[in-house]
Amino acid sequence: MSAKSSIPQPMLEIRNLKASIDGKEILKGINLTVNAGEVHAIMGPNGSGKSTLAAVLAGREVFEVTGGEVTYCGQDLLSMAPEIRAREGIFLGFQYPVEIPGVSMVNFMRTAVNEKRKYLGQPEMGAADFLKLMRDRKALVDLDTSLANRSVNEGFSGGEKKRNEIFQMAMLEPKLAILDETDSGLDIDALKTVANGVNRLKNKENAVIVITHYQRLLDYIVPDFVHVLFDGRIVRSGDKRLAFELEEKGYDWIREAN
């Protein structure tokens, strides 16, 4: 909770993180440091563990953490329940956003926003203020007003679902946003809209981890650092040029080098 500390500390520090599912090890020792104001891109071939890393950071229980530690704003992240992580400012943009029939977006978001406010000791947001906030943030991602009144992700197209994720990010104003393949299945216009949304939410106080398979998204969301994840480990780190190199040489290049 200490965004302002006298000694600068990393926002997120992952040390030798290992995780498995059904006894199969997926993450085999991840090391990564993210500071406020930074954009990190994590790239890698299918099955390298990108989505697992996102899920583990968000607290998905099907993955068992078998080693390592994660410090988030000076706290032990791994001991927190998923909803506490969320209230502490971690946002996961889902690769496959979940449909919740019958629950309206308005109701869903209002619950989420007020749960967070309560947790932070702030008064709950009144109806009028909340609706105003919704309107503002919807504009940010060009989300149709009618979508916000429909059930959570129900009957949304792929692009609508992704925009809806960014809309929720805008509503919850996270410190650390982890966007898991937010670009997959988007056409160029939708990609631009989503990236614009992310860029406008970006500031010195927060950080973004963009997980993607393709370099294309990084034309729009420009990363400070690019990491290549392969077989559960980060095998290369560099600046945005690394992404171009990857695009050019393909993942086989990594595969051969490892």
Partner 1 sequence: MVPFIIAESHEIMNADQDQIISQVTQTEYKYGFVTDVESDALPKGLNEDIVRQISEIKGEPDWMLEFRLKAYRYWTTMKLPEWAHLKLPVIDYQDIIYYSAPRSRQPLGSLDEVDPELIETFNKLGIPLDEQKQLAGVAVDAVMDSISVKTTFRDALAGQGIIFCSFSEAVREHPDLVKKYMGSVVPYRDNFFASLNSAVFSDGSFVFIPKGVRCPMELSTYFRINAANTGQFERTLIIAEEGAYVSYLEGCTAPKRDKNQLHAAIVEIIAHTDAEVKYSTVQNWYPGDREGKGGIYNFVTKRGICMGDRSKISWTQVETGSAITWKYPSCILRGDHSVGEFYSVAVTNNHQQADTGTKMIHLGKNTRSIIVSKGISAGLSNNSYRGLVRVSKNADHARNFSQCDSLLLGDRCGAHTFPYIEVDNQSAVVEHEATTSKIGEDQIFYCNQRGIDTETAVGLIVNGYAREVLNKLPMEFAVEAQKLLQITLEGSVG
In the complex, the residues that contact partner 1 under the rule CB under 8 A are 58-62, 81-83, 85-87, 91-92, 94, 97-104, 106-112, 114-116, 118-119, 124, 126-128, 130-131, 134, 149, 151-152, 168, 172
**Cα dist. 221→156, 170, 199, 214 in Å?**
24, 16, 7, 12
Structure tokens at 98: 């979940």
Minimum Å gap between C-beta 197 and partner 1 is 17
User: What contacts 131, CB < 8 A, 6 or more positions away?
Assistant: none
Give the amino acid at 141. Answer: V
Q: How far apart are CA 69 and CA 61, in angstroms?
A: 16
Q: How far apart are CA 65 and CA 14, in angstroms?
A: 12
Q: How far apart are CA 136 and CA 59, in angstroms?
A: 30
Minimum Å gap between C-beta 174 and partner 1 is 10
Dihedral sign for Cα atoms in the order 62, 66, 71, 76: positive
Minimum Å gap between C-beta 236 and partner 1 is 29
Of 134 and 198, which has the nearer Cβ to partner 1?
134
Of 84 and 235, which has the nearer Cβ to partner 1?
84
Of 150 and 240, which has the nearer Cβ to partner 1?
150
Minimum Å gap between C-beta 227 and partner 1 is 22
Minimum Å gap between C-beta 253 and partner 1 is 34
At which residue do the structure tokens 């997959």 appear?
184
Of 116 and 236, which has the nearer Cβ to partner 1?
116
Of 130 and 220, which has the nearer Cβ to partner 1?
130
